[in-house]
Amino acid sequence: MNRIPQHIAIIMDGNGRWALEQGKPRSFGHQAGVDAVRRITSECTRLGVKFLTLYTFSTENWNRPVDEIASLMSLVLSSLEDEIFMKNNVRFRVIGEIERLPKDVQEKLQETMDHTAANTNMQMVVALSYSSRWEITRATRQIAQEVKEGKTALEDISEEMLSRHMVTNFMPDPDLLIRTGAEVRISNYLLWQIAYSELYFCDTYWPDFMEADLHEAIACYQSRQRRFGKTEAQVEPDATE
């Protein structure tokens, strides 16, 4: 318990395939995925995780069929009615191109963020209409504009400055990235932030991802030595960083 990752990021993959394998529409899988979010959020708060970032809808997902997008947006609205945030003292936040979302979704997101702003147990961050390339491009443009206006010198641009311009600047980089659904790729998710994150891939579809699966991922994380470019001898065997 003394090596619980403080920030877990998850690519929640496999909802649609889970549903289709049961002969049901993809929307059924997305609804089941919300149930998985509830139980994993509750378990993360119990374990002492401080940040849980969930890849919910990528900018590339706008290319999906219109009816599936509409179903997903409706699901976002209904899931935000859940009391899990207040029950677990969880602060809700969102990152991404929020302005692309339907107006009612934008308003509900803001309402939920405002309602949970004082919660202190954990921050649940939803990546919605998000992609890492969009985020890095946005940060680069902001810095370029500051240089153009004379607010920033070219030689002052650093990794730290770029990090401050990321939409994730309010939280630490992920310690552990989990991807469910048997795919082994990052899918344009937190590319800047996961430079030194531990990666964990599993075959389980997200709707079937249980507390025991989370424990297994964390145990795998705990078995690794995070060296950040150093040698094994330079890092304490039980170091969490």
CB burial string 108-130: b at 16+ within 10 A, e below: bbeebeeebeebebbbbbbbbbb
Per annotation, catalytic residue among 2, 13, 156, 203? 13
- Indicate the burial class of 165 (C-beta count within 10 angstroms; 0-12, 13-18, 19 or more): middle
User: Is 61 labeled as catalytic in the residue annotation?
Assistant: yes
Query: Token digits for 141?
Result: 């443009």
Per annotation, catalytic residue among 2, 15, 61, 88? 61
| Residue among 78, 162, 173, 161 nearest 125 (CA) | 173
User: Is 121 labeled as catalytic in the residue annotation?
Assistant: no
| Residue among 240, 218, 97 nearest 172 (CA) | 240
Pairing of strands 7-11, 198-201: unpaired
Query: Which residues are known to be catalytic?
Result: 13, 61
